[in-house]
A and B are shown apart, each in its own frame.
Chain A
Amino acid sequence: MVSSTPALATTGQSRGLGARLGKLGRSYWRHRYLILMFLPGFALFLLFAYGPLYGIVIAFQNYSVVRGISGSSWVGLQNFTSLFSGPEFLHALRNTVVFAGLNLVVIFPAPIVLALLLNECRWKWFVRLVQTISYLPHFISWVVLAGILFQFFGQLGAVNAVLHVFGLPSQAWLYEPNKFYVIYVVSAIWAGVGWGAIIYIAALAGVDQQLYEAARVDGSSRLQRMRHVSLPGIAPTISIMFLLQISHFLAVGFDQIYNLMTPITQDSADILDTYVLRHVLSYDFSQGMAAAIFQSVIGLVLVFIGNRVVRRLDPDQSLW
């Protein structure tokens, strides 16, 4: 904001502690109304997001629900070492990274493309219809979605029927390890693209109409307008969503994979979450927490790097 520039200009200068406190005090005073406005939500946020956060220490305990955190014994890094030393850990980690990569490269851009296409479509009633329909799979559980996929890609399913028409042999789509990646990407886009596009549709609604007019007057084509007006217009949203996505890098679609994998494809499909589900002792919160912390720390490192890059490009779009 324009009004804040003078304040920023002075931050770089080194001063004494007293001066800094004085400056902080003046900043508090100057923002007193904003602070008052900010506090109710922030207090609620701190209470419920950080209040229970002490629970992560159970990753370093042999936690007993009965004894509670104060009564449980400390085991150091044992939960982590047993997590990492499990027989299929490296395998699951490798698969998880592959799926996470597919998430970023193929699945993440899909809702952006959908939003751009919707934006370009001339028939507004059609746009509204497609928007409403495309988010429906979000309401259907993966158990049902997977059941449908198994039927469609099955021996008697529509996909193989189409292959037959073209004289091609039918494929066991869901029962071959190397095809699992295809199924993963297709089904993830199918089930999530409409839901994911909502935020970009909203962002496109915020793009300045006059920029489109100006571009048209300049005689640019629709593709050019898409590239030079729409895309830059929603770039801030894309960058934020991208940062949030890499913060959950290792948290790939558990329900999806769990329901789509078969014993035959398990070697390709096994991810950290399915591994933990099996490997972790029943009712063992400590091991589960150790796994969650591992995933979160990786996410934190990645988002830290990503945020640095973004901040250098445009400080306004960084996460912090």
Chain B
Amino acid sequence: MAVPTATVAVSASGSLVEPPAAPGRRWRRRQRRTPGEWVLDIFIVVVLAVLAIATLYPFLFELTISLSTPADAQQSGLHILPTDPSTASWHAVLASSGILRAYLNTIARTVAATVLTVVLTAMMAYPLAQRSFPHRRLINFLLLFSMLFSGGFIPLFLLVKNLGLLDSRWSLVLPGAVAAMNVILMRNFFQAIPGELIDAARADGASEMRVLFRIILPLSKPVLAVVGLWTALANWNAWFDALLYINDPNKQVLQMFIRDTVLTQADPILGGTNPAMLGAAPTSQTLGAAAVMIATLPIIALYPFLQKYFARGILLGSVKG
């Protein structure tokens, strides 16, 4: 049983990734470009370069502010590079006791939630991609409906509490594990996979689980990367659920930790009461920026890592034709 399935998968991915792309590139290089093509090429590069500069700037700005002295942070200007680099704000945030544990807690929840989400979502989306699956339309409607209506945070809190999940790390993972949007997108991608591949595998006697994990998922890396990325980022950045469900400081997540650290200092500003008494007001800008950088830099590295799954030519169309 294992042997024929493997052949299908290999032939699928094997012929997909390399052969068509490589000759194509060579062929393209040989071809002489028309002036129109040149214009198009230049146009594309210019547009993308402008976009890259524009979108890099806010991040660079925040990074620079985090490395500036509070006095420099108050100057008007572009803040592209710190004029008088200072790591004081980074130190202040990183030196807080408990930040390491908060990091580990966040990594744990992110990894657990991402794995669980991708697996459960794929297991839900694959049956829904079969047009004969019973109650398919009803279920699809339920998915969409849940995206539009929510009961607010108090009923969700009471549910988590009644399940006995308060102060449990599962409270951060389970409630968001299956998001309707992910299911809908994955189902949509799965529907585009040629039915012949699945039929062939079934004919070879492969179980549905095997079809999903050996044939569908290897062909769906782009959408898995998208769902994985979205889930990982949403979990990494989440703090509201931790505020609701987690009291134990040993289980507190990074975003909540940073929120507490930075807000503690920012509180007088939020209070707006006594500027006369505030010594630390402008420092909160650099501190806040340092907190954002410290909290986001690790997760930003995820995207380049996943990019190879967005590379062209993962799905082979030849099977279809």
Contact = CB atoms under 8 A, between A and B. Distances in A.
Q: Do the two shown chains form a genuine complex with each other?
A: yes
Nearest to A26: B134
Contact of B195 (A1, A47, A144): A1
A292 B151 CA distance: 10
B48 A117 contact: yes
A55 B47 contact: no
Nearest to A194: B55
Contacts, number: 298
Contacts of A199: 185, 226
13 contacts: A34-B130, A35-B134, A40-B123, A42-B139, A52-B156, A128-B307, A193-B55, A194-B51, A202-B226, A236-B192, A289-B152, A319-B140, A320-B143
Interface in B162-221: 174-178, 180-181, 183-185, 188-189, 191-192, 195-196, 198-199, 202, 207-209, 212
Contact of A51 (B130, B159, B292): B159
Interface of B: 16, 20-21, 24, 27-28, 34, 36-37, 40-41, 44-45, 47-49, 51-52, 54-59, 61-62, 76, 120-121, 123-124, 126-134, 137-152, 154-156, 158-159, 174-178, 180-181, 183-185, 188-189, 191-192, 195-196, 198-199, 202, 207-209, 212, 222-223, 225-226, 229, 233, 289, 292, 296, 300, 303-304, 307, 309-318, 320-321
A27 interface: yes
B159 A33 contact: no
Nearest to A157: B76
A209 B21 contact: yes
Given A52-B159, A293-B149, A3 B51 contact: no
A134 B52 contact: yes
Interface residues of A, number: 107
A45 B132 contact: no
A58 interface: yes
Contacts of A7: 132
B133 A34 contact: yes
Contacts of A40: 120, 123
Contacts of A24: 134
B127 A38 contact: yes
A54 B150 CA distance: 9
A181 interface: no
Contacts of A221: 34, 36-37
B300 A206 contact: no
B307 A131 contact: yes
Contacts of B62: 140, 144
Interface string A20-48: 00001001101101110110111011111
